[in-house]
Structure 1
């Protein structure tokens, strides 16, 4: 799949300011962005919608990013996922990579680095 204005990127982060900032960034790049403050809200969204990529925070409550990844796997979803997190531990990175994520980026994330990671992830999954 090529990235276009029809490309939908879901964002899950419990920090509203990060969600809003990432939505602005993605929209300025011509992408459609849909942000969620909880993993549960995102999981309800995908019952009737299919985003092209997921940008996911790890450290959220009550459902953390690993729980969202586990739920996606349980549902059989094959979706490119980019982790953005303040947890730069080797353990978190290794655990996320073992779940098949496309990229592991540390906050604060550089906008162009994120856009490049999204493009690679979507093109790789095509």
Structure 2
């Protein structure tokens, strides 16, 4: 397991997924790697919490009721928030189509995610942010 560094313990990863078990598993993995986590059961909950100002990396499901992960990312960009984002999906053939002015997407991974690959994507996302 990777060591906790001051950068990691000061870094917040937001996890947005409507599936309780997936959200819990992702939170456990990310937290065990030394990051702070905040979890949300929907894109609307994430946006309503005004969590974008405290989020260093966004890990989100694509297909959720109410608002998709893609719609959430597009809304964040439209309001001036650029958060490196990793999408996860149970439908790997359905890669998201984003406009050219949305460079925030770091990766799109299938569910279930390979833990090492996900953590490497988070590292890449954080390098993009800093």
TM-score by length of 1: 0.88
Task: Label 1:86 to 1:48 Cα distance change in 2 as closer, same or farther (>3 A).
Answer: closer
Instruction: Please say if 1:76 is aligned against 2:80.
Output: yes
What is the CA distance between 1:3 and its match in structure 2? Answer: 3.9
The range that moved more, 8-17 or 36-45, is: 36-45
Q: Distance in 1 between matches of 2:38 and 2:78?
A: 22
Q: Distance in 1 between matches of 2:69 and 2:14?
A: 13
Instruction: Please say if 1:95 is aligned against 2:120.
Output: no
1:61 aligns with one of 62, 65, 72? 65
Q: Structure 2 unaligned runs (5+)? A: 1-5
Query: What is the CA deviation profile of residues 36-76 of structure 1, one whole-angstrom value per residue up to 9, with x for unaligned ones?
Result: 00111101223574210000101100111111012111111
Q: Which has the higher contact order (CA 8 A, sep 6+)?
A: 1
Q: CA RMSD in A?
A: 1.9
Instruction: Please say if 1:114 is aligned against 2:118.
Output: yes
Q: Could you say which residue in structure 1 is the equivalent of 2:3? A: none
Q: Distance in 1 between matches of 2:52 and 2:86?
A: 21
Contact persistence 1:3–1:119 (CA under 8 A): no
TM-score by length of 2: 0.86
User: Following superposition, which runs of at least 4 residues in structure 1 exceed 6 angstroms of deviation?
Assistant: none
Q: Distance in 1 between matches of 2:117 and 2:51?
A: 30
The size of the alignment, in residue pairs, is 123
